[in-house]
Amino acid sequence: MDKFIIDGGRRLFGSVKTQSAKNSVLPLFAASVLTDKQVTICETPAIADAFCMAQILRELGAEVRFEDGNVVIDSSNAHSHIISSALTRELRSSVFMLGSLLTRFRRAVIAYPGGCDIGLRPIDLHLNALKRLGVDIVERDGYIYCECEKLKGAEIAIDFPSVGATENIMLAGVKAEGRTVLQGAAKEPEIVDLQNFLNGMGAKIKGAGTDVIEIEGVGSLGGVTYTPIKDRIEAGSFLIACAICGGEVEVEGVSGENLGMLLHKLRENGCKIHTKNDKIRLSSYGRLKCNRRIETMPFPGFPTDLQAQITALNTVCEGGALIVENLFETRFKYVPELQKMGADIEVRGRTAFVRGVKGLHGASVTAGDLRGGAALVIAALAAEGVSEVFDLTHIDRGYSDLEGKLRSLGAQIERVHM
């Protein structure tokens, strides 16, 4: 297992290009089995979750090639509707495969999905919606067995705007007979990206980015070559890194609109921010102020995927911050690691109370999940002295060449193979 060695306390300067969005790319992989024509996903980031999705598709019988940063998928020979537990346990996003496989084969068997250990992560919304589309579902021995004679368009409402459930419904409704209307849809930019990708294949979907998505089932879907949107969470992580270290950094690829709530909070901290088209420039000098309160919410609220990183920032700001995690109940597992670096944080249920300290010090810490791991790296960059961040498997799931990009901004960070 690799580790990072980080010698902290350096300001960050320069510009960094954002990778394609992990949370866009993964459902696009799933969508690629909806057609037997070739699909090319351009500029796919070299992250472990993408490699894992590729492996899932290969197990189904598809051919997947990584070529010059693009991924070319030919699933004309896909024949299996079963996803082995080894792969689904590694990657929760494999749950999208239910919608795709049902559209392609009318059947799907999938082991109960895994992913980051950040809470219960039930999939009841996915399963209830699929039932509305005419799918029979049996859960047995850790597997979910789904079957239907045909998918039939339906009026569906979901109680909570789940990103994954919204995407699954789009993937199951795209060729369903008739019309599917989803009320209460998630509005994340990655949902809009999936709509654009599917429409590029010949689907008839509208409304993504709003509460209501309308899908007119089509008879067949063709191939597509598509460049996904950039990763607002990666971009946000770099902005927060610059905020905590001090300096001036420009991230390229993400519009300010897609990070509105983060930028609002960073301005509250005292950062200066300028946005222009798809560039965001942040400068941070002197000691920042704590955010009084941050609550994670579905888009356009503050993203749960940036909660750990903004908490790390608040640990060294002046004053106190209250961080409420509304989406995933155990998403504060990184806190004891931050405490090893001198952070003053108390967690009670879904709320973290942060009292800003003057500075953090280097320590040996372990990354237990993807975004918590990013938060530890961010804290280590600002800490006085040397830190080791152990177990990079989670960080590698979502950030491609994190260390290279940070080094290009002036950070001192090395990966050591152990």
Task: Render the burial of 244-270: b for 16+ CB within 10 Å, e for the rest.
Answer: bbbbbbbbebbbbebbbbbbebbebbe
Nearest distance, CB of residue 149 and ligand UD1, angstroms: 24
**Residues binding ligand UD1 (CB under 6 A):** 23, 26, 92-93, 120-126, 160, 162-165, 186, 304-305, 327-328
Q: Whose Cβ is closer to ligand UD1: residue 162's or residue 366's?
A: 162
Nearest distance, CB of residue 246 and ligand UD1, angstroms: 28
Point out the residue whose Cβ comes nearest to ligand UD1.
164
Q: Whose Cβ is closer to ligand UD1: residue 104's or residue 126's?
A: 126
| Residue among 116, 146, 245, 317 flagged as catalytic | 116
Nearest distance, CB of residue 309 and ligand UD1, angstroms: 13
Asked if 42 is an active-site residue, the reply is no
286 touches 270 (CB < 8 A): yes
Q: Whose Cβ is closer to ligand UD1: residue 10's or residue 371's?
A: 371
Nearest distance, CB of residue 188 and ligand UD1, angstroms: 7
Nearest distance, CB of residue 210 and ligand UD1, angstroms: 16
Q: Whose Cβ is closer to ligand UD1: residue 74's or residue 305's?
A: 305
Q: Whose Cβ is closer to ligand UD1: residue 226's or residue 249's?
A: 226
Active site residues: 116
